[in-house]
Amino acid sequence: MAYARPQLAVNTEAEAVPARAEVRSVPIPFPKGNDRLEQKDHFIVRNGLCYAGSHLIVDMWEAENLDDIEAIEQALTKAIEAAGATLLHLHLHRFAPTGVSGVAVLAESHISIHTWPEKGYAALDIFMCGDAEPSKAIPVLREAFKPGSINVSEHKRGII
């Protein structure tokens, strides 16, 4: 029988409580000829909860620089660094007449952005696992886009 897993969410940045995350190691069996080695699975154990990662959904209103692809690239790069994540690939696409969509593929997962400059609106998804701290990306993004208002919600992915 299927059952609902608990979901945790914070509706504002102020509700998020900083906590120390631990990355657990589990033995992973390898093909014949190799002993069992320990490899990190990058699941997080925080406040008694074990999960794959934190997925932040970020809505910015009355924001700036939403059509400036260079400013967006710089903001995402700095946000990734602030979160302690590892950038693998960054791809941004400019739409005509306005708007930018893109994704930063991370070793720890991803950050995506979609902008509507004519509305002053940007939608970002920040999903990270392991030792990365996605909440540390928020102040960098706030500084880069200077939103009049911002809403951040958090979803714990893969709760065990």
Positions marked catalytic: 109, 114, 129
Q: DSSP class of residue 148?
A: S
Return the axis-axis angle of helices 69-83 and 137-145, rounded to nearest 10°. Answer: 160
Q: How many CA atoms lie within 13 A of 111 on its CB side?
A: 31
Distance (Å, rounded) from C-alpha 28 to C-alpha 4?
28
C-alpha dihedral, 146 to 58 to 80 to 96, nearest 10°? -70
Q: Which helix (H) or strand (E) holds 8?
A: none
N residues, the chain:
160
Distance (Å, rounded) from C-alpha 53 to C-alpha 40?
14
**DSSP 3-state of 2:** coil
